[in-house]
């Protein structure tokens, strides 16, 4: 086996100047073409994505702050509402106490008034009844006296007669 062909510049004769230009030409053409058609757009999209990610992060941060703010606000409102509710309940209780007191006072007064008027009526009725009884007694007495006068009777008869009359009057009453 011969290894001659392994020598530097195998098989070539002399220096290939045109290869230099060919290499440069192809490499530079490739670089320019790729810059225009491949790397340019690719870098563009990568930058775009970078910006998108950055803006998304920023937006997320913003919305987080926003929601935090809203949360605080809501919490504050809730607290306020609770305080208000407590005040309302307190107020209502107080109001209730006041009106209960009032109602009771009124009721008591009414009861007193009713009792008094009833008592007064009873008094009046009693007085009238007594008056009526007295009148009756008088008229009965007169009747009895007249009967006594009409009939000459003894002391015993008189008494018996009066008693009978009174008993009759009591029966009739």
Interface residues with other proteins (CB under 8 A) are 1-2, 4-6, 8-24, 26-27, 29-31, 33-35, 37-39, 41-46, 48-49, 52
Nearer to other proteins, 6 or 172 (CB): 6
Nearest to 151 by CA among 138, 142, 161, 165: 161
Q: What share of the chain is helix, strand, coil (3-state, %, to 5)?
A: 90, 0, 10
What's the min distance (Å) between Cβ of 79 and other proteins?
45
Nearer to other proteins, 27 or 101 (CB): 27
What's the min distance (Å) between Cβ of 80 and other proteins?
46
Nearer to other proteins, 52 or 103 (CB): 52
Nearer to other proteins, 50 or 72 (CB): 50
What's the min distance (Å) between Cβ of 29 and other proteins?
7
Q: Find the angle CA(26)-CA(28)-CA(32) to the nearest 5 degrees.
A: 115
3-state secondary structure of 130: helix
Q: Which residues are CB-neighbours of 149 under 8 A, at least 6 positions away?
A: none
**Which residue's entry shows tokens 């008088």?**
138
Q: How is residue 60 written in tokens? A: 């997320």
What's the min distance (Å) between Cβ of 57 and other proteins?
15
């Amino acid at each position: 086996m011969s290894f001659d062909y392994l020598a530097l510049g195998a098989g070539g004769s002399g220096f290939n100047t045109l290869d230099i230009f060919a290499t440069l030409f192809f490499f530079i053409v490739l670089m320019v073409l790729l810059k225009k058609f491949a790397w340019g757009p690719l870098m563009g999209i990568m930058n775009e994505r970078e910006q998108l990610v950055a803006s998304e992060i920023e937006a997320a941060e913003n919305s987080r702050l926003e929601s935090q703010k809203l949360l605080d606000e809501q919490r504050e409102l809730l607290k306020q509402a609770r305080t208000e509710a407590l005040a309302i309940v307190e107020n209502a209780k107080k109001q209730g106490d006041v009106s209960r007191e009032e109602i009771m006072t009124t009721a008591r007064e009414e009861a007193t008034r009713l009792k008094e008027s009833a008592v007064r009526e009873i008094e009046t009725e009693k007085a009238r009844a007594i008056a009526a009884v007295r009148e009756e007694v008088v008229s009965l007495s007169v009747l009895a006296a007249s009967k006594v006068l009409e009939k000459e009777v003894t002391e015993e008869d008189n008494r018996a007669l009066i008693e009978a009359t009174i008993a009759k009057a009591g029966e009739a009453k």
